[in-house]
Structure 1
Amino acid sequence: MKVLGLQGVLLAGLVLLARPALAADAEWELGKRLFNKGSVPACAICHTLRDAGSEGTVGPILDEIKPDAERVGKALRNGLGAMPSFAKSLTEAEIKALARYVSQASGGAAPTQ
């Protein structure tokens, strides 16, 4: 059995700490992609969100209402007003990524998980 020196232990610790950040970055990118063009219809067509570079005029300006992830997820699953439900066209993981992206990009509360 090989014993790690201090540098090896520190490197191993950094790798373990980086894994959640890498997963969060991947989820952020997935959410952003889905917002801009990965969902049908794309969220960016109707909604304004500065981080996404979108200037939709149908739905609310997300930078102003700053929805939390739970609110976004509920709207995606059930639809809201003129917004259709995406429950049949997006997976639960995609809905979670999109909800997290919108909430964090708009300045809304992030989920605690």
Structure 2
Amino acid sequence: MSLKIKFFAIAAGMAALQCGSAAFAQANVGAGKTLFNQTATPACAVCHTLKDAGAAGEIGPNLDELKPDASRVEKAIRNGIGQMPAYTKLSDEQVELLSQYVARVTGAK
């Protein structure tokens, strides 16, 4: 196999991996949105504004403006903050998905 063919084979494999991770990331965004709008009890959307989720809550902070990173969101979910309760019934995976979702769709750094 020539060097040129090997290069294209490697490049094609990397492209496939990137497409797969993009699909995986999109699935996580969908799961995070469902958690935000429906699964968490009470639903995050009741209190928070988050454009991607179609949420216009006015009790808690506007997450689009706050742009919290995932660790900040996770801490608030696990421990509660202010009027927000701790979400102790969510699994570790759900907390991570929800935290990553909020951080990703708000453009947190």
What's the TM-score, normalizing by structure 1? Answer: 0.81
Aligned length: 105
AA aligned to 1:107 is G
Query: Paired residue for 2:99?
Result: 99
Q: How far apart, CA to CA, are the structure 2 residues paired with 1:70 and 1:100?
A: 9
Query: Paired residue for 1:67?
Result: 68
Structure 1 residues not aligned, in runs of 5+: none
Q: Deviations over 1:46-70 (max 9, x none)?
A: 0011111111111011111111111
Q: How far apart, CA to CA, are the structure 1 residues paired with 2:33 and 2:66?
A: 18
Q: Greater share of helix residues, 1 or 2?
A: 2
Which range moves more in the overlay, 100-109 or 32-41?
A: 100-109
AA aligned to 1:27 is N
Structure 2 residues not aligned, in runs of 5+: none
Q: Report the alpha carbon displacement of residue 22 of structure 1 after superposing the two structures with TM.
A: 1.9
Q: How far apart, CA to CA, are the structure 1 residues paired with 2:71 and 2:53?
A: 20
Q: How far apart, CA to CA, are the structure 1 residues paired with 2:72 and 2:6?
A: 48
Q: How far apart, CA to CA, are the structure 2 residues paired with 1:69 and 1:58?
A: 21
Root-mean-square deviation (CA), in Å?
Answer: 1.9
Q: How far apart, CA to CA, are the structure 1 residues paired with 2:91 and 2:23?
A: 21
Q: Report the alpha carbon displacement of residue 27 of structure 1 after superposing the two structures with TM.
A: 1.1
The 5 A counterparts of 1:45-60 are 45-60=46-61
Query: Paired residue for 2:25?
Result: 24
Runs of 4+ off more than 3 Å: 4-13
Q: Deviations over 1:36-95 (max 9, x none)?
A: 111110000000111111111110111111111110010001111111111x31111111
1:89 aligns with 2:102: no
